């Protein structure tokens, strides 16, 4: 007996096949994303993108282009490109994946992804300049997906996925999954950039685990340069623990160290992706924020309120939130109030400005605003404006 298939059953079967295929693709993307998130350094991240990704998805090659939004990674990419080593495993076969930094490829990619959206299609659909910039003398794929990467809202690079299958990346195809993937790639690049810089500077404070002043000063130079290039505002917070010396004097340096560690961890949790926090010295912390004065005040108030909720005890048992009971028991020890005074400053950055002077002014104004908060009663946020 022959089995007949109605048009409805055929459509249903096709729909089920599509859903199952999408689920398999999503799981493979998630596996790559997990490896990207776990990458501890730039070479590890490159191995995932330039070796594992094309092998897992059957791509002809993958190209990662980076600009100088993440200066250290751009420097490492330049060094990698100039060395002539194409793949992370050293294999220079015809399908080799690569890192690129040429301005021509960046300009070509920016034209194709003019709205900040992925571009899908065949090389034949590109203009001559774009084809030469993207492929040069390399074999040209049948189709490709050009995916823009952004760090803190600014273009930082492009990921090019190339296939021998002309229908693999076609105009009009849904790009939701690819766009989600680019967010993970960009965040992983940013994370690795910070790790690489901390490693290079040896700039981690042992007590709090935060970057130290040396790292902060380096980031200040980078952020003023970046903000100037894109004419963006930059904010700074200067944070001091209220009454820290009396805590040390009354309860000892061990409790003081716990106070510093708790406040540092609390402030880190309130810091946004792309912002920079450091232990500036003693009981002082500094934060660089990508935003104007209004944005910086919102973050500062959130930090102040969070620290005021910390539960520091005069014994070894500590929690990060206050006790449910208003009465301190002998077992938990006496609760020691912790508060901070925060000074806030912000400036617009413009091309041609004296960036070193502007950076010093930003920090100096936040420092003076912090003393204003101290003199105004402590446990508060202040600016020199108004």
Distance CA 269, CA 342 (A): 16
pLDDT(269) > 90: yes
Give the domain 202-383 fold.
Alpha-Beta Plaits (3.30.70)
pLDDT digits (tens, 9 = 90+) for 278-293: 999 999 999 999 899 9
Task: Check: CB of residue 120 under 8 Å from CB of residue 143.
Answer: yes
Residue ranges of the chain that CATH labels 3.30.450.40: 13-193
pLDDT digits (tens, 9 = 90+) for 51-100: 999 999 999 999 999 988 888 888 888 876 655 444 444 443 334 678 88
Task: Check: CB of residue 341 under 8 Å from CB of residue 235.
Answer: no
Q: What is the pairing mode between strands 335-336 and 312-313? A: antiparallel
CATH of segment(s) 13-193 = 3.30.450.40
Residue 155 structure tokens: 């273009």
Catalytic annotation, pick one of 196, 222, 283, 365: 283
Distance CA 197, CA 208 (A): 18
> For residue 318, what pLDDT band results from cuts at 50, 70 and 90?
very low
The yes-or-no answer on residue 283 being catalytic is yes
pLDDT digits (tens, 9 = 90+) for 331-354: 568 899 999 999 999 998 777 778
Residue ranges of the chain that CATH labels 3.30.70.270: 202-383
pLDDT digits (tens, 9 = 90+) for 6-55: 677 767 666 665 666 667 777 888 888 889 988 888 899 999 999 999 99
% of the chain exceeding 70 in pLDDT: 86
pTM recorded for the entire structure: 0.58
**Residue-level pLDDT at 303:** 98
The whole-chain average pLDDT of the chain stands at 85
pLDDT(322) > 60: no
> For residue 320, what pLDDT band results from cuts at 50, 70 and 90?
low
């Amino acid at each position: 007996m022959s089995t007949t298939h109605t048009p409805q059953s055929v459509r249903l079967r096709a729909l089920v096949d599509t859903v199952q295929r999408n689920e398999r693709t999503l799981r493979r993307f998630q596996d790559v994303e997990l490896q990207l998130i776990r990458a501890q350094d730039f070479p590890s991240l490159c191995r995932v993108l330039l070796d594992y990704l094309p092998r897992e998805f059957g791509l002809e090659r993958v190209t990662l282009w980076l600009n100088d939004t993440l200066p250290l990674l751009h420097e490492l990419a330049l060094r990698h490109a100039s060395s002539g080593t194409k793949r992370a495993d050293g294999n220079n076969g015809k399908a080799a994946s690569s890192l690129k930094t040429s301005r021509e490829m960046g300009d070509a990619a920016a034209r194709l992804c003019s709205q900040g959206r992925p571009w899908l299609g065949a090389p034949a659909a590109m203009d001559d300049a774009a084809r030469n910039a993207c492929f040069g003398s390399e074999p040209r794929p049948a189709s490709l997906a050009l995916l823009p990467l952004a760090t803190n809202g600014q273009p930082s690079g492009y990921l090019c996925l190339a296939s021998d299958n002309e229908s693999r990346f076609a105009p009009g195809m849904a790009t939701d999954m690819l766009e989600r993937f680019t967010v993970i790639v960009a965040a992983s690049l940013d994370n690795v950039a910070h790790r690489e810089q901390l490693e290079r500077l040896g700039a981690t404070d042992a007590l709090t685990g935060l970057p130290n002043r040396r790292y902060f000063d380096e980031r200040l130079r980078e952020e003023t340069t970046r903000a100037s290039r894109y004419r963006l505002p930059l904010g700074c917070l200067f944070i001091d623990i209220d009454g820290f010396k009396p805590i040390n004097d009354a309860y000892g340096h061990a409790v003081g160290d716990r106070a510093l560690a708790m406040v540092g961890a609390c402030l880190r949790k309130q810091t946004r992706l792309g912002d920079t926090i450091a232990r500036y010295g003693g009981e002082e912390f500094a934060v660089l924020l990508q935003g104007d004065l209004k944005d910086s005040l919102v973050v500062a108030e959130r930090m102040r309120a969070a620290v005021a909720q910390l539960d520091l005890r005069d014994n070894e048992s500590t929690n990060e939130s206050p006790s449910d009971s208003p009465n301190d028991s002998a077992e938990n020890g006496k609760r020691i109030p912790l508060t901070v005074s925060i000074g806030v400053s912000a400036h617009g950055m413009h091309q041609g400005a004296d960036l070193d002077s502007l950076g010093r002014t930003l920090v100096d104004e936040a420092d003076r605003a912090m003393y204003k908060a101290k003199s105004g009663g402590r446990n508060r946020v202040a600016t020199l404006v108004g």
